[in-house]
Structure 1
Amino acid sequence: MTALSPSPDAAAHPSRHNAWLLLPVALALLVSGWQPYDRATWWLEVAPVLIAAPVLVASHRRFPLTPLLATLIAVHALILIYGGAYTYARVPLGYWMQSLWDGSRNPYDRIGHLAQGFVPALVAREILVRRGLQAGPWLLSFLCLCVAEAISAWYELIEWGAAVALQQGADAFLGSQGDPWDTQEDMACAGLGALLALTLLRRWHDRQLTAIKVTTPRRAG
């Protein structure tokens, strides 16, 4: 069982499981920050990790996340850190994917934007359910999808602001690689990621919410 895979009894001890997830993330952050391709881009790409990690650590006793969600957040952090080390347009995994699919661009940034929808949708679902939102499963999923897309839209606005402020220095952060529809495709990937998470992981998430004594939304019908 790897550090990023929830153990069978992880839901019974979420804080212990979630604490172990900090180790691979912290190690990856240190390694990626040693000699990144572009230091300014590295800071911009890993900024969400540097912001989220202290918040999660500070709130883990009062609001421990389900092991499923904590694991997904850790995976998302590793995706961001890996992209920050090389910049998204130069990630080796992306070059391999580009040659495999005979593509015209390094597609690693699409993985990042899929995760940008996949993980926030589950974050929104966990918060809404645990705060007692009275909504059927369809309405709950719709609200979580809206939250994920809103986060994606704000991220695109942040990228635009960085491009305006930094001029040419923001090209690596934008990672558009000459694609005029990059912003729209990024948001579409986030929406697809959110839909996949809400469709594939709903039952698993409900079981873990129940395991930490959280009332799940009542299913219609």
Structure 2
Amino acid sequence: MQKYYLLILLFFAGLIASAISPHDYFTWILEVFPAIIGLIILLITFKKFRFTYLTYCMILIHCCILFVGGHYTYAMVPLFDWIKDFFHQSRNNYDKLGHFAQGFAPAMIVREVYIRQQIIQKKTWIPFLTVVVCMSISMCYEFLEWFVSVVSGSSGDSFLGSQGDIWDTQSDMLFATIGAICMVIFFSKLQDRNIDTFQTSR
């Protein structure tokens, strides 16, 4: 159990650090809110359905990306400002990393649930349906960004983070899709081994 406590400790360390003098607290709350909700859900369901440690680690990495984005806003993360200048890019692309993780981490979760709960009998369908679910999550998040921006007006601009890119919504969903596909292609075998080890140890 200690290794799970360590993940929770790291989560709160990242959350607290991101809350210290962020760019603005309205954007910070919007960006870290999904991580907080996710933690609550994982804590409530921990005894009923415990994910593999690998999946929890990937979720934590995704949360840390959210914390950084919440602290600086996705359009103003310093490292990606440097990358923008160095590679002569037109915008800060930290949000693309965030959306890649938005596809990757949920793919870990969805695929593990499919396998361990035996929701899908024909395993050949698991990769496709995993990616489809992640695409749906990304689409719903874009709806949420749009709704917040409409309701809050200019206050939601930092949360929207389009940086003047008219194709920002479409590219966000594309990167989430790429993240999910990368997880399925490159991490499926590793996840399968972790699931087998987890189930035999219980």
Q: Under a length normalisation based on structure 2, what TM-score does the superposition of the two structures give?
A: 0.95
> What is the rounded CA distance, in whole Å, between the counterparts of 2:65 and 2:86 in structure 1?
20
Between Structure 1 and Structure 2, the one with more helix by share is: 2
Aligned pairs for 1:24-173 (under 5 A) are 24-173=10-159
Q: What is the number of residues matched between the two proteins?
A: 200
> What is the rounded CA distance, in whole Å, between the counterparts of 1:82 and 1:138 in structure 2?
37
**Residue 8 (structure 1) aligns with:** none
Percent identity between the aligned chains?
38
> What is the rounded CA distance, in whole Å, between the counterparts of 1:153 and 1:18 in structure 2?
31
Indicate if the aligned counterparts of 1:89 and 1:175 stay in contact, CA closer than 8 A: yes
Question: How much has 1:137 moved relative to structure 2?
Answer: 3.8
Q: Deviations over 1:75-130 (max 9, x none)?
A: 00000000000101011121122123210100000000000001111110011111
Q: Deviations over 1:165-194 (max 9, x none)?
A: 001111100000000000000000000000
> What is the rounded CA distance, in whole Å, between the counterparts of 1:77 and 1:152 in structure 2?
16
RMSD: 1.2
With 111-120 and 91-100 compared, the bigger mean Cα shift is at 91-100
Unaligned runs of 5+ in 2: none
Opposite residue 46 of structure 1, the aligned amino acid is V
> What is the rounded CA distance, in whole Å, between the counterparts of 1:89 and 1:68 in structure 2?
30
Does 2:178 align with 1:202?
no
With 134-143 and 24-33 compared, the bigger mean Cα shift is at 134-143
> What is the rounded CA distance, in whole Å, between the counterparts of 2:122 and 2:4 in structure 1?
29
Question: How much has 1:207 moved relative to structure 2?
Answer: 0.6
Opposite residue 62 of structure 1, the aligned amino acid is K
Aligned pairs for 1:169-180 (under 5 A) are 169-180=155-166
